[in-house]
Chain A
């Protein structure tokens, strides 16, 4: 079974530019999550999809962040325009059922310069 796949693995962009991160969950997993870890701090929840619907987007920092999951398969997270404080590692995770933990991808390291 393929794991959760994220790309790119690294991205360096200038302040003000746009970046789109992609996540392919494990096939058949309805639940998809985005988390972010800023340097040395805790991993913070961004949002949760159930299929194509946003179940909880309470962790999204502001309206510069837009997450989509068209057709309930892969998801994208767009940051537009990027700011310096957006730098960090963005993790995607997926699960089939609630309450049994989920599988994380390897993350995308975003650096905004």
Chain B
């Protein structure tokens, strides 16, 4: 049973465009929603994260939009650059006592010049 559903599986965007990746979750007990960025041959790296008491968080070109009632959150990459080409994973934290994360299946983003 997949508790976090991520879409799309792959995304192709032109340089300067907006990349949008969506995630939906089931359990309302989740309390921390990070996005990780992974380049080939590297481990996932924390990109940006949000807690459920806010609806949006912005860091540079990256924004998380959070809809608690719909149990959805999304990553927006503004002015997408070729250097943003990577795999992006959303995640939810299940238990504050262990910081255990449940990840989505990942989105491979390719930004073309």
A residues near B, CB below 8 A?
A: 4, 31, 33, 35, 40-45, 48, 55-56, 59, 91, 93, 95, 98-99, 101-107
Contacts and interface: CB of A to CB of B under 8 A. Distances in A.
Given A31-B99, A99-B96, A42 B104 contact: yes
Interface residues of B, number: 26
Interface stretch (B36-44, B59-67, B68-76): B36-44
A40 B105 contact: yes
A4 B46 CA distance: 14
A88 to B, nearest CB: 13
Nearest to B38: A104
A91 to B, nearest CB: 6
Max chain A C-beta neighbours (<10 A), residue from B2, B41, B103? B103
B98 A48 contact: yes
Interface in B86-107: 89, 91, 95-106
Q: Which 9 A-B pairs have the closest CB atoms?
A: A104-B43, A101-B46, A43-B103, A56-B98, A98-B99, A42-B103, A42-B105, A48-B98, A106-B43
